[in-house]
Amino acid sequence: MGAKKRPFYRLVVADARSPRDGRFIEAIGTYDPLANPAVVRVDAERVKEWMSKGARPTDIARQLLVREGVLEYTGPTYEKVEKAPKPSKKQVAKVRAAEEAAAQPAPEAAAPAADAEVATSAEAADVASAKAAHMASAATTSMSSATSAATSGLCTSGKKAAGKHSAC
């Protein structure tokens, strides 16, 4: 049933050995998913009669019948658990810093700690400048090796360069 890009379904009672789109015993309803809201028409009396005879609905047919109120939902019930949002790394760092500050002794001991922080920031600046100098020298070294390789006609991988301006 239906047409291309226009689905329309029948709810049928069929023998389990029949092919999916093959022979069926009785049509007991329809499902039109394109209507807004989707329309399900079911003969509830016939569904209950076939269920009493031992018919078992497929998963999708069961969902439709439960939604229409013909069958009761018998699956597991899950309680919705709301999780608190995970704090970012910055928030975690702030919390830890606050805990450490609270754990430190009286304000008298805080004065030498301030001097240590100044020394620490000066040391951090020295380390940062040393890293920058190292990165600059590494960049210069790699540029000079690439330039010498280009002038010699070889790639950095040792292969012969294809042309004057080729990048390996």
Kindly state the DSSP code that residue 156 receives in the 8-state scheme.
T
Report cis status (omega within 30 of 0) of the bond before 76. Answer: no
Higher pLDDT, 108 or 151: 108
pLDDT of amino acid 52: 93
Report how far residue 127's alpha carbon sits from residue 133's, in angstroms, rounded to the nearest whole number.
Answer: 10
Full set of structural domains in the chain with CATH: 9-68 (3.30.1320.10)
Beta strands in the chain (DSSP E): 9-13, 26-32, 39-42
> Phi and psi dihedrals of 113, rounded to 5?
-65, -35
Kindly state the average pLDDT of the residues 102-112. Answer: 64
Counts for the chain of helices (H) and strands (E), in that order: 4, 3
Lowest mean pLDDT among 12-26, 78-92, 138-152: 138-152
Can you tell me the mean pLDDT for 11-39? 90
Taking alpha carbons only, the member of 39, 26, 34 closest to residue 2 is 34
Is pLDDT at 146 greater than 60 in this prediction? no
pTM of this prediction? 0.44
Select the more confidently predicted residue: 105 or 48. 48
